Amino acid sequence: MSKTAVEFKDVVRVFGKGDGQQIAVDHVSFTIEEGEFVVILGRSGAGKSTVLNMLGGMDKPTEGKVIVGGQEVSAMNDRQLSQFRADMIGFIFQFYNLIPGLTAYENVALVKDIKKDSLDADEMLERVGLADQKNKFPSQMSGGQQQRVSIARALAKDPKIILGDEPTGALDSETGLIVLEMLQKLSTEQGNTVILVTHNADFAKCANKVIHMRNGKIKSIKTNDEPASARDIEW
Ligand SMILES: Nc1ncnc2c1ncn2[C@@H]1O[C@H](COP(=O)(O)OP(=O)(O)OP(=O)(O)O)[C@@H](O)[C@H]1O
């Protein structure tokens, strides 16, 4: 039987006060099972990144509960959140967030500073097909290669959950598909729970679950028993 990896219970996130108040996430509830490949879909401003940030322990709800791996993230203090992120979560960002002055290898090996028992940087670069590029600096690599380094860096933490905020947003479609396929395989072959935020509806075809947001609310949640392989979609 599958185990619940993530649970949002009636979560609200309000930014600002008074007239400037913005309800970014408005009473949102959903569950994600371990090993699922989930896409959070919606237009700009729908609240997707805010959901992802609360899920990854980078932000806290104004109301409601966020439970990840059985732990109530929404009740953690800053020290606990830091530990939670180090142990549980791998992040992949739209613009890679690599450190320009460090090589691919060094960018991945850096994870040891956050998590002592992190996985071997050479092995992680091998897994994303970049073993031969390890001594290059980010500026010497293509966007797709840089994103693969950032995937290797996320994997080095050996995280249960991988979060991607528009991870293919800065890539051309061909390169984006390679990255998407790599992320899908982490769920289908390695059993990671992978959760991506995107406004690209084509990604939904590859997901086990699609959480569609609009104006801070859930518009629909659809499950897909036979998701397409990322290799077979086009956009
Ligand atoms: N730190 C913040 N302070 C104030 N308002 C914020 C903050 N973060 C997000 N918001 C607001 O909350 C709403 C939801 O933002 P969010 O970034 O979650 O949307 P999104 O669906 O991820 O959009 P995009 O696809 O453009 O990234 C927006 O109206 C945004 O302006």
Which amino acid residue places its CA nearest to atom 14 of ligand 1? 47
User: Is 197 exposed, middle or buried, given 0-12, 13-18 or 19+ CB atoms closer than 10 A?
Assistant: buried
* Per-residue pLDDT tens over the stretch 15-40: 999 999 999 999 999 999 999 999 99
Specify if 145 maps to a domain. Answer: yes
Cα 25 to averaged position of ligand 1 atoms, centre (Å): 9
Give the number of residues written for the chain.
Answer: 235
- Region 193-220: what's the mean pLDDT? 94
8 Å CB contact between 128 and 182: yes
Specify if 93 maps to a domain. Answer: yes
Range of the domain at 47: 35-60+77-232
- Region 185-191: what's the mean pLDDT? 92
Specify if 5 maps to a domain. Answer: no
- State both tokens at 90: 């791998």
Which amino acid residue places its CA nearest to atom 31 of ligand 1? 45
User: Is 206 exposed, middle or buried, given 0-12, 13-18 or 19+ CB atoms closer than 10 A?
Assistant: buried
Task: Give me the sheet containing 71-72, strands edge to edge.
Answer: 22-33, 4-15, 63-68, 71-72
Specify if 30 maps to a domain. Answer: no
| More confident of the two residues 4 and 200 | 4
Specify if 54 maps to a domain. Answer: yes
Q: What is the dihedral of CA 162, 164, 37, 51, to 10 degrees?
A: 100
Cα 103 to averaged position of ligand 1 atoms, centre (Å): 32
pLDDT at 172: 87
Q: What are phi and psi of 134, to 5 degrees?
A: -60, -25
Measured from the Cα of 23, ligand 1's closest atom is 12
Number of separate domains in the chain: 1
Specify if 3 maps to a domain. Answer: no
Q: Is 16 in the pocket of ligand 1 (CB under 6 A)?
A: yes
179: domain CATH number is 3.40.50.300
pTM for this entry: 0.93
What ipTM goes with this model? Answer: 0.96
pLDDT at 15: 97
Specify if 10 maps to a domain. Answer: no
Specify if 170 maps to a domain. Answer: yes
Q: Which of 156, 150, 189 has the alpha carbon at shortest distance from 168?
A: 150
Report the half-sphere exposure of 117 (CA within 13 A, side-chain side): 4
8 Å CB contact between 171 and 144: yes
